[in-house]
């Protein structure tokens, strides 16, 4: 047990949790529910390496700097997207309209690419400034070049500088958030 005030590491269990399996299992469940309660947006992340492209549903996203303009995305190491972002060094964040929430279920597995038809899983796209795919029906896109990759264990936090962005739908379009779905991720 560590003393309060930062004289040593505490985690992962605080002192108030008894050191037995039941108490720890209860706390594990509680911690998951608390982490699930954190508010998030919900996005589609475009990635590209060479001829390979993907779109992936993601909620671990935030801006992390004003100057330069940096966006951080947390990507699971086992995901195809991870390989493409790590190798390609770019990603494109797409926001989607709130009323378009069904789209989120279409991008939880690697996409089927139809280059001749210009679609990913049947959804029309075009390549952004970085070459990463922009969803044609996105509300807005934020195209980024990776500046740092931080190893976070099961995920990598890719930090990208915004090199292009625009609205594709009217600026006042309400965009999708995690609370618009019954899904959870994290915890």
Ligand X SMILES: Cc1cc2nc3c(=O)[nH]c(=O)nc-3n(C[C@H](O)[C@H](O)[C@H](O)COP(=O)(O)O)c2cc1C
Helix (H) and strand (E) counts in the chain: 2, 11
Cβ distance to ligand X smaller for residue 73 or 139: 73
* Strand order through the sheet with 70-76: 52-58, 43-49, 90-95, 140-151, 155-167, 70-76, 61-65
Strand pairing of 119-120 and 113-114?
antiparallel
Sites for ligand X among residues 7-46 (CB under 6 A): none
Query: Residues 35, 37, 41, 42: what is their CA dihedral angle, to the nearest 10 degrees?
Result: 80
Q: If binding is defined by CB under 6 A, does position 64 make contact with ligand X?
A: no
Sites for ligand X among residues 97-126 (CB under 6 A): 108-110
CB 39 within 8 A of CB 179: yes
- The minimum distance between CB 6 and ligand X, in angstroms, equals 29
Read off the tokens for 128. 């952004």
From 6-14, 51-59, 63-71, 92-100, give the range in contact with ligand X by CB under 6 A: 51-59
Cβ distance to ligand X smaller for residue 110 or 133: 110
Cβ distance to ligand X smaller for residue 36 or 167: 36
Cβ distance to ligand X smaller for residue 81 or 130: 81
Sites for ligand X among residues 130-169 (CB under 6 A): 155
Q: Which residues bind ligand X (CB under 6 A)?
A: 54, 56-60, 74-76, 79-81, 108-110, 155, 183, 185
């Amino acid at each position: 047990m560590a003393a309060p005030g930062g004289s040593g590491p505490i985690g992962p269990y605080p002192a108030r949790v008894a050191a037995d399996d039941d108490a720890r299992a209860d706390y594990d469940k509680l911690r998951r529910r608390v982490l699930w309660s954190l508010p998030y947006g919900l996005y589609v992340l475009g990635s590209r390496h060479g001829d390979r492209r993907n779109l992936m549903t993601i909620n671990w996203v935030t801006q992390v700097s004003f100057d330069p303009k940096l966006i951080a995305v947390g990507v699971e190491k086992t995901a195809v997207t991870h390989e493409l972002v790590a190798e390609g060094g770019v990603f494109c964040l797409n926001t989607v309209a709130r009323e378009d929430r069904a789209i989120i279920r279409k991008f939880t597995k690697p996409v089927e690419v139809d280059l001749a038809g210009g679609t990913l899983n049947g959804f029309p796209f075009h390549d952004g400034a970085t070459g990463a795919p922009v969803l044609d029906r996105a509300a807005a896109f934020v195209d980024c070049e990776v500046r740092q990759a931080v190893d976070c264990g099961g995920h990598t936090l890719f930090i990208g500088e915004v090199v292009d962005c625009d609205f594709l739908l009217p600026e006042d379009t309400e965009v999708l958030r995690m609370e618009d779905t019954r899904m959870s991720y994290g915890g």
